[in-house]
Amino acid sequence: MKTAFYARTGTVITIGDDIFRVIKHTLKSTNKWRGKGYLVQMRLKNLITGAIAEEVYDSEDKLEDIILKRSKAEFLYEAGGIYAFMNQESYEQIELTAEDIADARDFLTEGQIVDVQEHDGRFVGIVLPLQVKLRVAETEPGVKGNTADGRVTKDATLETGYVLKVPGFIETGDELMVNTETGEYLERAKE
């Protein structure tokens, strides 16, 4: 059991017979007359049906969390909305749909190792590393005078097609470290 306060992004919970992954967790302060409390607004993805639900809980509400079986798998390729992975222990090929992997597709590159999650023999999603290295496929040229302080930003399209804000000194071909939870630029990748 976890309280809603600790059911952060990525936590898997059960509500009735359904299994949900917390995909967004936001704390909202309430000014109760007996002290300060919090409400937790959550966006939940049903791992069986794929439906998205918005729920609000008191921060002390108890939720039933579960641990899914995980196995390491290598991302092989994407074809027609089907994402193929190879289990690193059994070498079995696993196919997941775009709905199964959700926003993770923005950060997947061939050969990347991820955790594939399973519940009752059914694959229900993947867990990416917190940071991934991705190459900039296209961005505007840097403007002379933009220094490394990063205050001037511009859009950059990564090799996966994902678009994010980067400092003005980033060029096409640069490799970047990207946070997979927030989708934000972290730094230039170190050689």
In angstroms, what CA-CA distances link 181 with 8, 38, 132?
A: 11, 23, 11
Q: How confident is the model at residue 37 (pLDDT cuts 50, 70, 90)?
A: confident
Q: Which domain holds residue 81?
A: 69-127
Length of the chain: 191
Laid out side by side, the sheet with 153-158 consists of 163-167, 153-158, 131-139, 175-179, 185-188
113-140: pLDDT as tens digits: 998 888 777 777 788 888 999 999 999 8
Domain boundary among 18, 48, 65: 65
Shared domain check, 49 and 32? yes
139 and 115 in a common domain: no
pLDDT at 22 over 80: yes
Say which residue, 4 or 10, is predicted with more confidence: 4
DSSP symbol at 103: G
Q: Which two tokens stand for residue 132?
A: 């991934």
pLDDT of 133 reads 93
Q: How confident is residue 148, by pLDDT bands cut at 50, 70 and 90?
A: low
Q: Is 102 exposed, middle or buried (0-12, 13-18, 19+ CB in 10 A)?
A: middle
**Which among 65, 89, 114 is the end of a domain?**
65
Q: What angle do CA 106, 158, 123 make, to 5 degrees?
A: 20
Give yes or no: residues 58 and 26 share one domain: yes
Give yes or no: residues 29 and 79 share one domain.
Answer: no
State residue 6 phi and psi, 5-degree precision.
Answer: -95, 0
Tell me: the pLDDT tens digits for 82-105?
A: 999 999 999 999 888 887 787 788
Q: Which amino acid is at 88?
A: Q
For residues 47 and 19, what is the distance between their CA atoms, to the nearest angstrom? 6
Query: Based on the domain organization, do 17 and 59 belong to the same domain?
Result: yes
Of 50, 65, 80, at which residue does a domain stop? 65
Q: What is the CATH number of the domain that holds 117?
A: 2.40.50.140
Please tell me the total count of domains within the chain. 3
Q: Give the up-direction half-sphere exposure of residue 15: CA atoms within 13 A in the CB hemisphere.
A: 17
